[in-house]
Amino acid sequence: MSNKLSGVRAMATEELEAAIASTAKKIHELLEQIGATSDPREKRRLERRLKELPILRLWQLGQIS
């Protein structure tokens, strides 16, 4: 039974690591989009999303520990 549980934990860790990498990629993409847009409304929307992603990333990092 312990083998099953360790396998589940390893898979969850791999998924979290993939999610962390994806979040980092989204942060960089948003930074590029913010620099490229001239629409103030779109820029505010992107900046709001940009503020949320580091919080998500910290939560994901906490789940691995």
Angular region, 3: left φ>0, alpha ψ -120 to 50, beta rest:
alpha
User: How many CB atoms are closer than 10 A to CB 46?
Assistant: 20
The token pair at 18 is 């993939």
How many domains does the chain fold into? 1
The closest of 22, 19, 26, 20 to 50, measured between CA atoms, is 26
First to last CA, the chain: 22
Tens digit of pLDDT per residue, the chain (65 long)? 445 555 555 558 889 999 999 999 999 999 999 999 999 999 999 999 999 999 999 988 888 87
pLDDT at 54: 94
pLDDT at 1: 45
17's CB contacts (< 8 A; 6+ apart) are: 64
Amino acid at position 16, single letter: L
Considering the entire predicted model, what is its pTM? 0.75
**Enclosing domain of residue 58:** 2-64
